[in-house]
Homo-oligomer: A and B are copies of this chain.
Amino acid sequence: MNKGENGEIDPDFVARLVDYLEFDEGRVQHLFEKNYLARNWGKHDYLFRFDKEISRIERGTVLYEKDDSFEVIMGFPKIRRAMVLDPTLKKHFSGLEKVTVEEKMNGYNVRVANVKGEILAITRSGYVCPYTTERAKEKLDLRFFDDFPELVLYGEMLGPDNPYVPKEIYGIESVEFYIFDIREKNSGNPLSIARKHEILEKYDFLQVRSFGKISLKTAAEEIAKIIRTLGEKEHEGVVIKDPEMVLAPLKYTSSQSNCSDLRHAFKFYNEAGRDYMLSRIVREGFQTVEWDENEADFKKRFMQLGESILNPLRESIRSVKNGQRLYEEAKIRVKDLKTAAEFENYLKRLGIDTIFEEPQPIGNEYLIIIKKINKSTNDKTQAIWEGEVW
């Protein structure tokens, strides 16, 4: 879907961008040609997104002209993973007394910002999602964006009415926006955790659960306990942060989250990334050794692993054998049916093959079931059942 998106780019615009980015002109031209810097379509076509990490600019960063200059909304910084808690935390956060531990919640990443006077919800990849934008406007106290036009909310869209990562585990009725960072436009600098809490409380914004500050000395043990408790509820894990947000955060996840990822990956075994699968399996290996599990716990872990892999695989293979098509079901809840139409068009542009069912009224909104077709796994499995060799 990226091919040719940029069309003709105005040479004056390129010249202004060359000045702003301090890249040479050839480099900027190259970014456009390769669609590494790609123009949005439709009514937000003044927005450009970085489709690739360039120098210190994260993939998903968004850029647009404003008041004779440019404004930038930096992408989500990639959070590195601790494969073992000890000694990784001590090494990474060396010099700190305490670290802040927040829950890593399982939804989809979205930035909400005031973009030239309009509130937009921008996905991790840098697209303006019409559904998320409608929801964000509905759910958030918009005065924040007038009071702090230079700040961007970085958060997670959570809940069952979620077209990307539907989850029932948080007790959310539809969807809610949980914030984990506030960052400045242009620099992408984050506010300290104290300042973030202060602002979020003032506007009654929902925020990811905090486990508070923990002494670095005992962090590995305490986080292991937190992770076990989160895991029991199928929650994902934690992000460990420098309270001042100077050092980069680290993440660490529960076994249940690894297995849940694997269940999804093996359901659609022919589209899921091989590295994605392997990394989640390898995490299980490090966790069982770091936690020095006995044979009973180890057996529980490998049974869980085996089942998380083979059960969804069996389900998919069986479904196709029985003539069913493989799909993922998700749902959205919209105020305006126009949003649903825009969202359907948006997914099409992203190359996602979907079927939108008839809207059902629910309160003063509409619920719409979406089926996402997994063509690759479907076709591969069907071919095998028709006698094709591997």
Contact = CB atoms under 8 A, between A and B. Distances in A.
B313 A285 contact: yes
A309 B286 contact: no
A337 interface: no
A83 B309 CA distance: 18
A362 interface: no
Nearest to A278: B274
Contacts of A221: none
A390 to B, nearest CB: 4
Contact of A92 (B91, B313, B321, B389): B389
Contacts of A80: 389-390
Interface stretch (A133-141, A146-154, A380-388): A380-388
Interface in A82-131: 82-84, 87-88, 90-92
A269 B285 contact: yes
A314 interface: yes
A279 interface: yes
Contacts of A172: none
Please indicate which of the listed interface residues A250, A303, A309, A387 has the most CB atoms of chain B within 10 Å of its own CB. Answer: A387
Interface in A291-318: 298, 301-307, 309-311, 313-314, 316-318
A111 to B, nearest CB: 24
A309 B289 contact: no
A288 to B, nearest CB: 6
A337 B341 CA distance: 77
A81 interface: yes
Contacts of A386: 87, 91
A192 to B, nearest CB: 23
A177 interface: no
A86 B309 CA distance: 24
A352 B281 CA distance: 27
B387 A87 contact: yes
A291 to B, nearest CB: 11
B285 A298 contact: no
Contacts of A281: 266, 269, 309-310, 313
A80 B383 CA distance: 14
Contact of A284 (B305, B313, B388): B313
Interface string A317-339: 11001000000000000000000
Given A82-B389, A302-B303, 8 more contacts: A81-B390, A274-B274, A274-B275, A284-B310, A289-B314, A289-B321, A302-B309, A304-B306
Interface of A: 80-84, 87-88, 90-92, 250, 266, 269, 274-275, 277-279, 281-282, 284-286, 288-289, 298, 301-307, 309-311, 313-314, 316-318, 321, 384-390
Nearest 6 CB-CB pairings of A with B: A306-B306, A274-B274, A285-B313, A91-B387, A302-B306, A80-B389
